[in-house]
Structure 1
Amino acid sequence: MTTESAFSPLTIGRTHLRNRLVMSAMTRSRATGDGRATADIAEYYRQRTGAGLLVTETTQISTRARSYPTTPGIHSTEQAASWERVAEVVHDAGSAVYLQLFHGGRVGDDSMRGGLAAHAPSAVAAPGKSFTPAGLVDHPVPTAMTDAEIRATIREFAGAARLAVGAGFDGVQLHGANGYLPHQFLGRSSNLRTDDWGGSAANRVRFTVETIRAMADAVGPDRVSLRISPAADVLGVDEEGTEELYGEMLSAVDGVGLAFLDVVEAVGQRELTQRLRKSWSGVLALNPHRDAEPAPPHEVVPDALDSGADLVVLGKPWLANPDLDRRIASGGPYNEPDHTTFYGGTAAGFLDYPALAG
């Protein structure tokens, strides 16, 4: 395919998209201390409405779900109200926007959760360090969730979905990837349970499947998306039997009627992506990482569409290029992202990346 195919329209669920380009969820840590979206956050998304669909940064569903400083939430009416301006400016520009729902599980220091203990499938700490305003600290040993706590967390996802749609979002996305709570249930190393939430592949995918169904019941399946990261060894989650695991998951959710499936592709795993595609009959959004050295976006996008994707999800290119759609259409050039301004700080590295002249 050529880049022109990326600019054809597509309907996902009940939402019409003017092109096949998606801005990925990316944590930027610029919310207020109590988790509200700001005017700068609204402007950040407005600048990037060349994407047919924008997915917001990870947004925690509860105080306990928080893993990082100054990240936004969607578990209070005040937080929900702060997001209304984001949905409004994106819609005014002709694009669609989904809110990504997040629970960090065992990731992040307890100070991020107001002193609440981390909850996870099992009492196994994540490897490495966690960022806090006071510096890097070890991830805590979490408390293994009871059956009642698991079910309560699923209800929190559903409640957050209602708040998001009430704030004007076109839909919501479950962040089931990259080492956070739903992904922790998938891992053999992070999920040592012997009850109905652990052990077999069917039991390890159960948290994701039941959460997706609860969110679909809350706001309608055609407003719900799922993000997964097959074969991603992130934050100590060892999936073990990736293809069986995700085959089980996709067979369980394929008939729900979700708006789309968002796949974060691991480097060198294009064949796995294509095999899993056969288990998914709906719209596929691909965040492509075919090679260790990525090609420029105007080459990545048609390659992903040729591989069977319906939508192409890009992250850092949108972060550094607010007008990425125009740059893809013209074959570049592209701004390089400033890694020192990814998380927290001021408008610098957030709102000041230049657009193409003219």
Structure 2
Amino acid sequence: MPTLFDPLQLGAITAPNRIFMAPLTRARATRDHVPTALQADYYAQRAGAGLIISEATGISREGLGWPFAPGLWTPEQTEAWKPVTEAVHKAGGRIVAQLWHMGRIVHSSFLGGAQPVSASATTAPGQAHTYDGKQPYDEARPLALAEIPRLLDDYRTAAANAIEAAFDGVQLHAANGYLIDQFLRDNSNFRSDAYGGSIENRIRLLDEVTRAIVDVVGADRTGVRLSPNGDVQGANDSNPQALFTAAAAALSEIGIAFLEMREPQGDSSFRPNEVPPIAPAIREVFDGVLVLNSDFTPESAAQTVESGLADAIAFGRPFIANPDLPARIAHDLPLAKPEVATFYSQGPEGYTDYPVAETEAA
């Protein structure tokens, strides 16, 4: 039986263990979405992960609506990522860039007053995080058919920039109610063209974007993230098992290196799972490496990998307060708890100042 500490091959990437770092938005880039030296320290501290999946990183100005989040669409952003990947590699780690288009979750203030885009003319519930505090979301306009080639090019450019910045690969963010997820789910996609209606049509954009990325970086350096777990930021589906097994089967046909799924375990206080677990059905149709995420404990992670339900587990919040998480799990050491108040602040506090276990012991 495999353990959390067995190596794992993800296409062209060799992970020395199966404790992955999940993507975590931390808001430490500049207002122009340029990575900073602080991010190099943060990721290098966590290089003991089998694989680091970077924080969600915008593919275009249109697609990024989170204050101080990084991007990968300009030369300046690309150059600024290079010290980050270099620091991770020097520390013995591997890191892939998560490519992000937020769709209707982008507030118009990030777009000079223009409308955000989505599958259909819908409005996300709640309020957007902006540089001027929380504001109601805007109604999105439907992405026009004529704009889809441009969107595919934006993904290709960001993927190429990720490789230029020496990332080991990329992950397509197709989860959590963002643009691709808005196309996938039937309560946010009301289109009547080739991208709406049937499940086959609603997974079309996911398929096309994934293939566009694969054309640039190769299937062996491409991963995808899905979240088949009920309502996320207002995006939901009436038949999630049918939808997400079809999506996973399509991704398996493309031959991507890994599929990561956010599927909360048990009684999640963060984002609860509103539907029965879909991972077992996806395991049946997806032939590549399957990674599960959200609310795992070291014990449940070990059991899940040993059972064969997943090949690896991606930990999010535990990696915030435990930069040496794999070592702590290996030695059965207690885990520190993260400080929620500093999740999205701009300085080192609550970011690079969490000690490793050896420091605490000393």
TM-score by length of 2: 0.93
- Comparing 154-163 with 173-182, greater Cα deviation is found at 154-163
In the other structure, the counterpart of 1:112 is 110
Structure 1 counterpart of 2:281, which letter? R
In the other structure, the counterpart of 2:270 is none
In the other structure, the counterpart of 1:157 is 155
In the other structure, the counterpart of 2:141 is 143
- Identity of matched residues, %: 39
Q: Do 2:44 and 2:93's aligned partners in 1 also have CA atoms closer than 8 Å?
A: no
Whole-angstrom distance in 2 between the partners of 1:221 and 1:142: 32
In the other structure, the counterpart of 1:303 is 303
Structure 1 counterpart of 2:190, which letter? L
- Comparing 103-112 with 265-274, greater Cα deviation is found at 265-274
Whole-angstrom distance in 2 between the partners of 1:224 and 1:233: 26
Whole-angstrom distance in 1 between the partners of 2:300 and 2:83: 32
TM-score by length of 1: 0.94
Whole-angstrom distance in 2 between the partners of 1:6 and 1:317: 16
| Superposed counterparts of 1:153-232, under 5 Å | 153-232=151-230
Structure 1 counterpart of 2:358, which letter? A
Structure 1 counterpart of 2:219, which letter? P
**Structure 1 gaps, min length 5:** none
Whole-angstrom distance in 1 between the partners of 2:276 and 2:282: 10
Whole-angstrom distance in 2 between the partners of 1:354 and 1:43: 13
Structure 1 counterpart of 2:292, which letter? L
Structure 2 counterpart of 1:94, which letter? G
Q: Do 1:49 and 1:93's aligned partners in 2 also have CA atoms closer than 8 Å?
A: yes
Q: Do 2:64 and 2:101's aligned partners in 1 also have CA atoms closer than 8 Å?
A: yes
Q: Do 1:223 and 1:258's aligned partners in 2 also have CA atoms closer than 8 Å?
A: yes
Which SS does the other structure have where 2:223 is aligned?
A: strand
Q: Do 1:232 and 1:266's aligned partners in 2 also have CA atoms closer than 8 Å?
A: no
Whole-angstrom distance in 2 between the partners of 1:323 and 1:270: 32
For residues 166-185 of structure 1, what are the alpha-carbon distances to aligned partners after superposition, in whole Å with 9 as ceiling and x for unaligned? 11011000000000000000
For residues 236-283 of structure 1, what are the alpha-carbon distances to aligned partners after superposition, in whole Å with 9 as ceiling and x for unaligned? 111221111112212222121211000111445674211111010111
In the other structure, the counterpart of 2:271 is none
Which SS does the other structure have where 1:136 is aligned?
A: strand
Kindly tell me: are residues 270 and 277 of structure 1, through their superposed partners in 2, closer, same or farther at Cα, counting changes over 3 Å? farther
Q: Do 1:298 and 1:332's aligned partners in 2 also have CA atoms closer than 8 Å?
A: no
Whole-angstrom distance in 1 between the partners of 2:41 and 2:179: 30
Q: Do 1:231 and 1:239's aligned partners in 2 also have CA atoms closer than 8 Å?
A: no
Whole-angstrom distance in 2 between the partners of 1:253 and 1:336: 35
Which SS does the other structure have where 1:352 is aligned?
A: coil
- Comparing 239-248 with 208-217, greater Cα deviation is found at 239-248
Whole-angstrom distance in 2 between the partners of 1:331 and 1:114: 50
Q: CA RMSD in A?
A: 1.5
Structure 1 counterpart of 2:351, which letter? F
Which SS does the other structure have where 1:6 is aligned?
A: coil
Q: Do 1:104 and 1:181's aligned partners in 2 also have CA atoms closer than 8 Å?
A: yes
Q: Do 2:263 and 2:277's aligned partners in 1 also have CA atoms closer than 8 Å?
A: no
**Structure 2 gaps, min length 5:** 267-274
How many pairs were matched up? 350
Which SS does the other structure have where 2:345 is aligned?
A: coil
